[in-house]
């Protein structure tokens, strides 16, 4: 049956049989199967039907020999990139990242890092990035990621998929550490971040994930900003202010609203229609 494995895995019906069979195989059988399909690994990975049993097989791997066969199927950064950005193949890459220990996949890690920007800014690549982030604890890799973020922070915040990468870092690496590292650039651009569709998600995620005095200070830096009233003229800014109020104690709600009113009353860059609208939004909050 070994000579028919690739055909069976790619079939719309027999792929289910292969998935169940792989879960019951011994290590020796898995090694043989991996060896037999290795030359067709990419073809199977890109297949809607073939990717399912392949992921089951990868998930069962538990030995250096199995890891080696799997990783040797991805020999170049281009192959790793193509798989990472493919709507089906990205799931195979994620399964490899989750199933094979970090120490056993240096070439795979390197391949992702070499194409880091393209992975982070891609609809399918963003999920690969999340798995990559969650399964790597190497300080050199983390340093490379932080260096990329330092250079591209605002662009990532505003990007449809790049902001997801930052949210993953907030969740996985600690929001407080993230804020400690990027506090200056966040503070300098806080109003712009709050009023842009994608970057406002970052602000709300920070509010959700930090706590205690740090949370109060961060929220205060937003609603006490001299331009905080500008948030009320933009639906994303309103979402951020609602998040702040919902995350505050009940006895602080009026204080927050009054602070925004004060900033608003001291402004000189609004016409009468804008003023009327913003006052109504403050009451809505």
> Cβ distance 139 to 103 under 8 Å?
no
CA distance 92 to 4: 21
CA distance 193 to 184: 13
Q: What is the DSSP string of 138-206?
A: -HHHHHHHHHHHHHHHHHHHHSTTHHHHHHHHHHHH-HHHHHHHHHHHHHHTHHHHHTSHHHHHHHHHH
What pLDDT sits at residue 270? 64
If phi > 0 it is left, if psi is from -120 to 50 it is alpha, else beta; for residue 59 that is alpha
pLDDT one-digit tens code per residue, 223-267 = 999 888 888 888 999 999 999 999 998 888 888 888 888 877 777
CA distance 198 to 236: 9
CA distance 125 to 123: 6
For residue 278, the Cα-to-chain-centroid distance in whole angstroms is 34
% of the chain residues with pLDDT over 70:
95
Q: What does R_g of the chain's alpha carbons equal in angstroms?
A: 25
What pLDDT sits at residue 175? 86
In this predicted structure, the answer to whether residue 156 has a pLDDT above a threshold of 90 is yes
- Residue 206 neighbours by CB under 8 Å, 6+ apart: 170, 175, 178, 179, 186, 218
DSSP H helices in the chain: 5-10, 14-22, 27-37, 41-45, 51-60, 64-71, 77-85, 89-99, 106-114, 116-120, 125-135, 139-158, 162-173, 175-188, 190-194, 197-209, 212-223, 235-246, 253-265, 272-284
pLDDT one-digit tens code per residue, 37-74 = 999 999 999 999 999 999 999 999 999 999 999 999 99
What pLDDT sits at residue 14? 96
Report which DSSP code applies to 100.
S
Helix (H, G, I), strand (E, B) or coil at 285: coil
pLDDT category at 183 given cuts 50, 70, 90 is: confident
- Residue 220 neighbours by CB under 8 Å, 6+ apart: none
């Amino acid at each position: 049956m070994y000579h028919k494995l690739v055909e069976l895995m790619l079939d719309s019906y027999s792929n289910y049989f292969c998935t169940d069979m792989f879960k019951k195989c011994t290590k020796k059988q898995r090694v043989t199967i991996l060896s037999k399909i290795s030359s067709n690994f990419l073809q199977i990975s890109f297949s809607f039907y073939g990717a399912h049993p392949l992921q089951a097989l990868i998930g069962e791997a538990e030995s250096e020999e199995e890891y080696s066969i799997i990783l040797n199927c991805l020999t170049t950064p281009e192959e790793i990139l193509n798989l990472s950005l493919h709507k089906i193949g990205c799931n195979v890459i994620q399964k490899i990242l989750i199933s094979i220990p970090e120490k056993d996949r240096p070439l795979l890690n390197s391949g992702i890092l070499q194409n880091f920007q393209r992975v982070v800014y891609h609809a399918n690549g963003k999920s690969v990035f999340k798995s990559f982030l969650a399964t790597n604890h190497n300080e050199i890799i983390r340093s490379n990621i932080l260096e990329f973020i330092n250079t591209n922070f605002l662009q990532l915040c505003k990007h449809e998929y790049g902001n997801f990468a930052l949210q993953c870092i907030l969740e996985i690496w600690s929001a407080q550490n993230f804020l400690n590292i990027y506090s200056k650039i966040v503070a300098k651009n806080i109003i712009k971040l709050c009023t842009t569709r994608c970057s406002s998600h970052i602000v709300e995620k920070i509010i959700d994930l930090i706590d205690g005095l740090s949370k109060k200070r961060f929220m205060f830096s937003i609603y006490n900003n001299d331009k905080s009233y500008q948030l009320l003229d933009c639906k994303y800014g309103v979402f951020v202010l609602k998040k702040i109020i919902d995350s505050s104690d009940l006895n602080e709600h009026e204080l927050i609203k009054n602070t925004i009113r004060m900033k608003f009353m001291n402004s000189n860059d609004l016409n009468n229609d804008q003023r009327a609208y913003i006052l109504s939004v403050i009451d809505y909050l």
